[in-house]
Structure 1
Amino acid sequence: MATSLLLSSSFLSSSPLSQPRRLTSNVPTSCFPYARTSAKLFLKPTHVPSCSFRFCHKIMAGTSIGETEEEGVEPVTVGEDSAAFDLGQQKISSWIYFGGILGVVLFLLDVVWIDNSTGFGKDFIAAVAGVSESHEVVMLILTLIFAIVHSGLASLRDSGEKLIGERAFRVLFAGTSLPLAVSTVVYFINHRYDGLQLWQLQSVPGIHQVVWFSSFVSFFFLYPSTFNLLEVAAVDKPKMHLWETGIMRITRHPQMVGQVIWCVAHTIWIGNSVAVAASIGLIGHHLFGVWNGDRRLASRYGEAFDTVKRRTSIIPFAAILDGRQKLPENYYKEFLRLPYLSITMLTLGAYLAHPLMQAASFRLHW
């Protein structure tokens, strides 16, 4: 997902428990610590291996995997607590390492890809642009190339990590996807007004506020793919997470929803054929990602993912409205966390930096 990669992520109770019934799965002896409040039981996820989640979710509830919980009792969390951030567990050395890696990556990206005198980015754009004189066609091809590489490598993650290790595969994944993402975004910025004008709504009262607010909200959906930045940079060992709280209660595929919101907002604002082509490509990629993401999580987590899938939805709020998802008391607290404060600041910063991004893209002449 080109736009979210470059610009672009939240997120707890029972009457005394009855005698637990026999579980249908083998359960490891070490599991989540748990706590009670006056009304319900909930689990407090801590840092444990992700492979343990499929076994730990029903221990204290006394039900088999997927079994319906008693009425009035909040379902026990199966997956991980989204955007949980414990400042006390952070190591200064890890963030210094992260800063160093980020600097090296940006330097290499500039030399190898962005700089027109040394990089291959300009030649790549020229090769794709040589296929057609239509900016719409070029935009779709660039998005398609990125989607094939990005989703293709994601689909090969299990076998790739077994072959070369989690960190090495993350470096390969990011090192391949990031240049293609930059090329796609820069081309869009430079040619966003070169297409056929289909409508002009920028002068309509209130439209700027609607587009701005929609774009701002979209990043709260786009963010969950990168809850742990240290994993993104391979400082921490990368994992495939099964998130369940926070925005996942609203939609199981927040990246797709955020991308749709972003695309619709920007297409309404720009109103031409290039924006439509970019939106078709990006939304199509993310709709494929819905199927591919569910397939990969089902393969990795099995019955635990089936449980999450039953009580979440692809369409926002659908599981809440039909009663499959019950929001906990003080649900808003799942969003009052440092990662979401960070994404708020970064989103506002990206908006204010629009002129700088446009000027930098124009200087590349892609």
Structure 2
Amino acid sequence: MLSLILAALFWVVLHLGAAGPLRPALVARLGEGGYRGLFAGLSAVGLIWLVLAYRGAPYVALWPPAPFAVAAVLVFAGFLLLAYSLGPTNPTQVASERLGQGGLQVAGITRITRHPMLWAFTLWALAHLLVNGHVAGLLLFGAILVTALNGMVSIDRKRAASLGAAWDDFARRTSRLPFAAILAGRGELHPGELASWRLGLGVALFVAALWLHGFL
């Protein structure tokens, strides 16, 4: 269990520290490309460490697991968000700061949330946290959940600093929380902008995950 605790701490500190307050100093020393390469490498190491430590951790129950149907709904929604997040037009994606030139378009999935990929990770982690009511699950899925939620705040802060007024307008017309801007009257839902092939991709990913879940 100690290895999993250390792996979870490493993951959280890396994403809250190196991707947060320490980022400017690291970029100044390594350059943007060097920083991103280092961060990606350390993230891969952290993820592998988490998985291996989780597999070797003892079972210590904390709460009764939630019904599988609850997790399935959350994971399905997560795969849909993941499918719609893939693309070059969302300014919250990695290396998308250049999209601020000439304004930021609000269309498709960004009308629902400006952080579709991080919400996909959030829902995935939450689903697995609910159905794995033990200490090891809390450490693994809790670490991923914390960093996904923090990532939304961190990205918004970075984009506000780099894109200025263009980001302020984009943020006003969108929301972190899915559908919040629409419910508040700051945005509109246009279902026609949500490509049907992405819906099919999300369904296919969900079915594949169910099929491979036991093996994985």
C-alpha contact (below 8 Å) 1:219/1:347 kept by paired residues: yes
1:119-268, aligned counterparts within 5 Å?
135=1, 138-155=3-20, 156=23, 160=27, 164=31, 166=33, 168-191=34-57, 194-201=59-66, 207-222=67-82, 227=87, 238-240=95-97, 244-268=106-130
Which residue of the partner structure matches residue 91 of structure 2? Answer: none
Residue 311 of structure 1, aligned match among 170, 173, 179: 173
Decide whether the 8 Å contact of 2:122 with 2:149 is kept in 1.
no
| Structure 1 position 345 matched with structure 2 position 211 | no
Gaps of 5+ in 2: 89-93
Partner of 2:136: 274
Q: Which residue of 2 aligns with 1:88?
A: none
Letter in 1 for 2:153: W
Structure (1 or 2) with the larger CA radius of gyration: 1
- Tell me, yes or no, if the aligned pair for 2:63 and 2:134 is still in contact at 8 Å: yes
State the Cα distance separating 1:296 from its structure 2 match. 0.5
Equivalent residue letter for 2:208: G
SS in 1 for 2:185: coil
> What corresponds to 1:356 in structure 2?
215
> 2: CA distance between counterparts of 1:210 and 1:265?
7
Aligned mate of 2:153, from 291, 295, 320: 291
Residue deviations 1:12-71 (CA, integer Å, cap 9, x gap): xxxxxxxxxxxxxxxxxxxxxxxxxxxxxxxxxxxxxxxxxxxxxxxxxxxxxxxxxxxx
Distance 1:210 1:296, change over 3 A: same
Q: What's the TM-score, normalizing by structure 2? A: 0.74
Task: Determine the structure 2 residue equivalent to 1:102.
Answer: none
Q: Give yes or no for contact 1:170–1:238 (8 Å, CA) kept in 2.
A: no
How far 1:243 sits from its partner (Å)? 7.2
SS state at 2:215 partner? helix
1:345 aligned partner, one-letter code: A
1:208-232 CA-partner distances (Å, limit 9, x unpaired): 233223212213334666536xxxx
Counterpart of 1:221 in structure 2: which amino acid?
A: L
Shift in CA distance, 223/173, structure 1 to aligned 2, threshold 3 Å: farther
Q: Measure how far apart 1:250 and its partner are.
A: 1.6
Conserved? CA contact 1:197–1:273, under 8 Å: yes
Give ranges in structure 1 of 5+ residues lacking alignment: 1-134, 202-206, 229-236, 358-366
Task: State the 1:180 CA deviation.
Answer: 1.2
1:33-44 correspondence runs (5 A): none
SS state at 2:109 partner = helix
| Cα displacement (A) at 1:321 | 0.8
CA, structure 1 residues 176+278, in 2 after alignment: closer, same or farther (shift >3 Å)? closer
Bigger shift: 312-321 or 277-286?
277-286
- The one-letter code matched in structure 1 to 2:43 is S
Q: How does 1:84-103 map to 2 (within 5 A)?
A: none
Contact 1:157 1:169 in 2 (8 A): no
Structure 1 pair 157/348, CA: closer, same or farther in 2 (3 Å)?
farther
SS class of match (2:70): helix
- Rate the CA distance shift 1:332–1:273 in 2: closer, same or farther, 3 A: farther
Q: Give 3-state SS (helix, strand or coil) of 2:186's partner.
A: coil
- Percent identical among aligned pairs is 26
Report how far residue 325 of structure 1 moved.
0.9
